[in-house]
Amino acid sequence: MGQRNILSTRNILTSVVLALTLTAAAMPASAQTSTKSDDSSAPAVVHNRWTTGAPMPTAREWPFTGAIGKKIYVAGGSNDTEVLPVTEIYDTTTNTWSTGGAPMLTPRIAGASAVVNNVLYAIGGATSSSESNVVEAYDPKTNAWSTMQPMPIANDNIVAVADKDVIYVIGGYVNGQGRQSVVYAYNTSNDTWTQIASMNVAKSYPAAGLLGTTIVAAGGLENGGVTNDNEGYSVTKNKWRDLAPVPTGRQAGCYEAFKGILYYAGGAIVNGDPLSVLEAYALKTNSWTTGLASMPDGTINPGSASVAGRLYCFGGSNNGYPFQGSIYNYVQIYQP
């Protein structure tokens, strides 16, 4: 597989709620607060703080990730030599890993993932030789992958957001066509695809999440470079609208939305230059909070998930090209 642009994979491939007013999120990185839980025997929760979890058994970037209950499933991705089928399971309550997950049927990188009804969907991406429209679903109850209706186009560097039974697959890169503004809705209940309103800006690998009833797609990579573009999609209106721009335009970061806030950590502006910056967007005020605690290790192309109001970032690299640079097995955890 030849060298490709960082996110295009071109040519182939709580206790205290921060979301109440974002006042807590507005603290500088050096300012941290600690609040006791109702159980006096439980440890204090330190807010605006990063910690590290047990490292992944398999270092990788571009994985498919999703949280089901208190466990996070990390599948596929690539190391420094190959695209991987491996599925590993991180237990957030015990900070331990299981390597007993069934391997993916079609190993891929740089695709989109989402969880619906306790099933992890791995959508599109790229194999070791080409972009892919493959869709697979992993059921932890049976520890098995199933092949679903393929995506209408082969597309990589895509992101996905689930709302009820529908997964929205956003943007991406198609070889020969460049960055995409296209958005598809995948109905998991009947295994069908529908093309819906496109984004205003064609881009790949933004940060994305569901805030209330609005799907937010922040940042990403245009054909000309990274973008500060931030857009919100209304499911009821089938329309995108412009939102407050991302303070640090970037691509391929770690992101999740919970409790009304989209958290966006790491990523890159240019190849081989990972960022550690963390910023948070509140739809309620249409504003970003900066100055949050930086990631311990800047990373490009990590996997993302959230459990119990925490952001989990898995692996990534310091380079952004496939099979180049240092591939990480880091587990970095942010407590808002």
Distance separating the N- and C-terminal Cα atoms of the chain: 39
pLDDT reading at 30 higher than 50? no
pLDDT reading at 169 higher than 80? yes
Judge whether 224 lies within some domain. Answer: yes
- What pLDDT is recorded for position 309? 97
CA distance 110 to 138: 17
Rounded mean pLDDT, 133-160: 98
Q: What is the pLDDT of residues 79-117, one digit of tens each?
A: 999 999 999 999 999 999 999 999 999 999 999 999 999
pLDDT grade for 42, boundaries at 50, 70 and 90: low
Q: What is the pTM of this model?
A: 0.89
SS3 readout for the chain: CCCCCCCCCCCCCCCCCHHHCCCCCCCCCCCCCEECCCCCCCCCEECCEEEECCCCCCCCECCEEEEECCEEEEECCECCCCECCCEEEEECCCCEEEEEECCCCCCCECCEEEEECCEEEEEEEECCCCEEEEEEEEECCCCEEEECCCCCCCCECCEEEEECCEEEEECCEECCCEECCCEEEEECCCCEEEEECCCCCCCECCEEEEECCEEEEECCEECCEECCCEEEEECCCCEEEECCCCCCCCECCEEEEECCEEEEECCECCCCCECCCEEEEECCCCEEECCCCCCCCCCECCEEEEECCEEEEECCECCCCCCCCCECCCEEEEEC
Judge whether 161 lies within some domain. Answer: yes
pLDDT reading at 235 higher than 80? yes
- What pLDDT is recorded for position 19? 37
CA distance 116 to 163: 8
pLDDT grade for 242, boundaries at 50, 70 and 90: very high
- Rounded alpha-carbon distances, angstroms, from residue 155 to 11, 171, 250: 11, 9, 20
Domain CATH for 288: 2.120.10.80
pLDDT reading at 332 higher than 90? yes
pLDDT reading at 322 higher than 50? yes
- What pLDDT is recorded for position 272? 78
CA distance 188 to 148: 9
Judge whether 36 lies within some domain. Answer: no
Neighbours of 310 (CB within 10 A): 18
pLDDT grade for 25, boundaries at 50, 70 and 90: very low
CA distance 161 to 93: 25
Rounded mean pLDDT, 56-71: 98
Q: What is the pLDDT of residues 262-314, one digit of tens each?
A: 999 999 998 779 999 999 999 999 999 999 999 999 999 999 999 999 999 99
pLDDT reading at 49 higher than 60? yes
pLDDT grade for 1, boundaries at 50, 70 and 90: very low
- What pLDDT is recorded for position 270? 81
Q: What is the number of structural domains in the chain?
A: 1
Judge whether 2 lies within some domain. Answer: no
| Percent with pLDDT over 70 in the chain | 87
Q: Which domain holds residue 208?
A: 50-335
| Percent with pLDDT over 90 in the chain | 84
- What pLDDT is recorded for position 73? 99
Judge whether 17 lies within some domain. Answer: no
Residues making up the chain, counted from first to last: 336
Judge whether 13 lies within some domain. Answer: no
